[in-house]
Amino acid sequence: MEEDSGALIPSLNAARIVAYFTLGLKIFLLLLCGGILTAILLAVLSSSSAGESASALIVISVIVGAFWVFYRLSPVLPAAALDTQASIRGAWNVTRRLSGAILVMVLLLGVVSFVLVIVIEPIQYISGPMYLALSSIQIWFTVMVGVSILTTIYGVTVENRAL
């Protein structure tokens, strides 16, 4: 929005923060319901002969599915930050045409995250401070990529910007 308060710290807009938090909470609760249903399914499966392989496959599928649903619903978050009206149903509808691309992106992010963990985790046994520094960089990278994805999905789907 290119807002500039002229101050070092931007002015606080409580309405936007509350809207962002509320929509984020709604998305979280939707994903939580899916997680609870999955936990029930896993409990039933773990008592059957399907065992650990099926449980692991279900857990991975649910994690990928949860991220896919999150990114499909994500346009409501930048909309709240920009003080524009958006609904969860509207976000779902507007991201429909990108659902396959979003799924591929989620899978790629999962692979990249997995590789980063595989590379960084053993370092904790060598040097705690180095592990902490690398983990912090990994978290920062993940947050920046996540925010970029949110704003890109919003720009492409809502504002009809070209990639």
Task: Examine residue 2 and state whether it is found in any structural domain, yes or no.
Answer: no
Could you tell me where the DSSP H helices lie in the chain?
14-46, 51-73, 76-81, 88-94, 99-120, 128-157
Residue 101 falls inside a structural domain = yes
Report if residue 9 sits inside a domain. no
Q: Which two tokens stand for residue 69?
A: 């649903």
Helix (H, G, I), strand (E, B) or coil at 45: helix
What pTM does this model have? Answer: 0.84
Count the neighbouring beta carbons within 10 Å of the beta carbon of residue 141.
13
Q: Which two tokens stand for residue 138?
A: 């990994």
Given a cut of 90, whether residue 52 has pLDDT beyond it is no
Whether residue 36 lies inside any domain: the answer is yes
Instruction: Give, in order, the Cα–Cα distances in Å from 158 to each of 11, 73, 88, 96.
Output: 26, 12, 13, 12
What is the three-class DSSP state of 125? helix
**Which tokens is 70 given?**
């999150």
- What is the average pLDDT value for the chain, to the nearest integer? 88
**18: its two tokens:** 């509350």
In whole angstroms, give the CA distance from residue 139 to residue 109.
13
Per-residue pLDDT band for 49 (boundaries 50, 70, 90) equals: low
- Residue 163 in any domain: the answer is no
pLDDT tens-place string over residues 106-127: 999 999 999 999 999 999 899 9
Residue ranges making up the domain that contains 54: 14-157
* Residue 61 in this model has a pLDDT that exceeds 90: no
Q: Residue 31 domain-assigned?
A: yes
Distance between CA atoms of residues 100 and 91, nearest Å: 15
CA distance 87 to 95: 12
pLDDT higher than 70, residue 50: no
Contacts of residue 123, Cβ cutoff 8 Å, sequence gap at least 6: 130, 131, 134
Count of structural domains, the chain? 1
| Domain assignment of residue 58, yes or no | yes
Is 74 part of any domain?
yes
